[in-house]
Amino acid sequence: MNNPVELQLSQPGTDLMKKYPGRIEVLKHPSGMTFYTLRWRSEPYGKLVIGRPPHTVTLPFALSAKAYEDSYFPDEKIVNWNINAGLTEGDEIAHEAAREKFFGILKSLRNAGWQRVILRSDPRLDGKDNMQYVLEDSSVSYLDPDYLPEIKEWMMLGNRSTWGLYLDHAYLTVTLTRDPTRTDINKPGAYFIEYALRTDTQEMRSYVDPDQRKSWKAVLPGVLAKAKEEREKLEEEWQRKGARIDRQYQDPPVPELTP
């Protein structure tokens, strides 16, 4: 049961069931969506492989992985994977060790070719400037995966702090959760990770209102234009504060929008 499981986007759920017979829980929702779930209820927990060679990365200590096919877009097959995992095999870990281990995971993703993503309405800030922006102004924004925070900054991070990445028409967010009852830096803590892997089309649909999803290709250009305006305003504001804007950063390409 601990053999690595390969997770792919745009794969038919039926192919997934054939590849891992007897291991997939299937739920057909009344809305027409179909969910596929793998679970690991005890040690040793799961190992999940994402990406295609030469960009594969193994994610350890998986507790569950859930995919779904969107009934509105059946030709796209599996469009999303949500993964819950531990940071370690056991429950507790020293906070300093947790910081090193978590950034080891981010480094493995970066080394495999995953590129940093900044939300399209957020300023293009790096390092400490980005950390300050997230801590002070926007806790839902993505952190810089190349910036290793000081331990004091690490302990200041809120629950569900998130890092965003992109590779080969796929988006990946890595969200960190800390047990709020174990935040004494001199005592062990407990951490969990949520990975969300989704196609670029599914990512773009998240920018439009739910009732506009069917017509997302027509709506998206206007939404992205407003996001660009918001980014420009924030960058002007943060430049006045002395922050450096990373003008070399480019957003991932937008999928084809022709009908």
Render pLDDT for 117-144 as a digit per residue (tens, 0 to 9).
999 999 999 999 999 999 999 889 999 9
The count of C-alpha atoms lying within 13 angstroms of the C-alpha of 151, restricted to the half-sphere facing its C-beta, is: 11
Render pLDDT for 229-241 as a digit per residue (tens, 0 to 9).
999 999 999 999 9
Q: Report d(CA 50, CA 205) in Å as an integer.
A: 22
Total length of the chain: 259
User: Which DSSP state fits 255?
Assistant: P
Render pLDDT for 142-157 as a digit per residue (tens, 0 to 9).
999 999 999 999 999 9
Total-model pTM: 0.95
* Per-residue pLDDT tens digits of the chain, which is 259 residues long: 578 999 999 999 999 999 999 999 999 888 778 999 999 988 889 999 999 888 999 999 999 999 999 888 999 999 999 999 999 988 899 999 999 999 999 999 999 999 999 999 999 999 999 999 999 998 899 999 999 999 999 999 988 999 999 999 999 999 999 999 999 999 999 999 999 999 999 999 999 999 999 999 999 999 999 999 999 999 999 999 999 999 999 999 999 987 6
- In contact, 69 and 11? CB cutoff 8 Å: no
Q: Which residues, including other chains, have CB under 8 Å from residue 205's CB and lie 6 or more apart?
A: 213, 216
- In contact, 143 and 162? CB cutoff 8 Å: yes
